């Protein structure tokens, strides 16, 4: 798990781009199997779903970094 975390921290934009592309593909596949929509509408919906997922991932990363930095600062203050 630590190897994955270190790779993601070194390749942040690649990770976010991969998540976005995966979400677009999954949404296109889901909408194709489920609803009879025009291809343009499928693409618009897929992009909206991917953007929502990307915002959720970025928000989660921000919260994670906040708590890691906050925890590190608390440990640093406790040592002094």
Burial class, 7, CB count within 10 angstroms (exposed 0-12 / middle 13-18 / buried 19+): exposed
Q: How many CA within 13 A on the CB side of residue 59?
A: 6
d(CA 78, CA 8): 30
Instruction: Please tell me whether residue 11 adopts helix, strand or coil conformation.
Output: coil
Q: Is the pTM of this model over 0.75?
A: no
* CB-CB contact of 19 with 53 (8 Å): yes
Q: In tens digits, what is the pLDDT along the chain, a chain of 80 residues?
A: 788 888 888 888 888 888 888 888 888 888 888 878 888 988 898 899 888 988 998 898 888 888 888 777 777 666 65
């Amino acid at each position: 798990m630590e190897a994955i975390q270190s790779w993601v921290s070194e390749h942040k934009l690649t990770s976010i781009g991969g998540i976005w592309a995966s979400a677009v593909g999954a949404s296109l596949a889901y909408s194709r199997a489920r609803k009879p929509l025009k291809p343009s509408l499928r693409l618009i919906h897929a992009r909206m779903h991917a953007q929502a997922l990307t915002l959720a991932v970025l928000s989660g990363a921000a919260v994670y970094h906040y708590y890691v930095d906050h925890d590190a600062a608390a440990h640093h203050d406790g040592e002094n």
